[in-house]
Amino acid sequence: MAQVVVYGHRGALGRRRAALREAIHGAIMVALEYPADKCFQRFIALDDDDFVHPEDRGADYTIIEISIFEGRSDDAKRALIAELFHRVEVEAGIAPHSLEITITETPKVNWGIRGINATDLTLGYKVEV
């Protein structure tokens, strides 16, 4: 399971939402061997006064937060970050300097999905990559 939240300036995020969606999901599919039909993303568009960051990050400054089940290798997480930096720059036009990515891992027992605890859920993909 991967839940993605993307924060950005209202105007910049609005113009790039579709490209970001594709870039992020593409990176997750490649690096984490994730199924194409499992796309969970939320876009939080912020007014300038509500999004405080160093000026040198610019109006394109974007934060991507990814919550996943624990179990991915360090190599898989490094590959995901590298893939995100590359795809977001190429597909959405956001330079790596204006992009920050965090990955938060939690045990399956901390997730509730489709009415049950994720520990008891049969997934159609592997977590240990």
Tens-digit pLDDT profile for residues 22-54: 999 999 999 999 999 999 999 999 999 999 999
Domain-embedded: residue 29: yes
d(CA 84, CA 104): 15
What is the average pLDDT score of the chain?
A: 94
Tens-digit pLDDT profile for residues 93-119: 999 999 999 999 999 899 998 899 988
Domain-embedded: residue 128: no
Tens-digit pLDDT profile for residues 71-90: 999 999 999 999 999 999 99
Range of the domain at 109: 2-120
Domain-embedded: residue 77: yes
Interior/surface letters 69-95, b for 16+ CB within 10 angstroms, e for the rest: beebeeebbebbbebbbebbbebbebe
The CATH number linked to 61 is 3.30.429.10
Domain-embedded: residue 126: no
Total number of domains constituting the chain: 1
Please state the pTM of the whole predicted model.
Answer: 0.93
Conformational region of residue 93, where left means phi above 0, alpha means psi within -120 to 50, and beta covers everything else = left
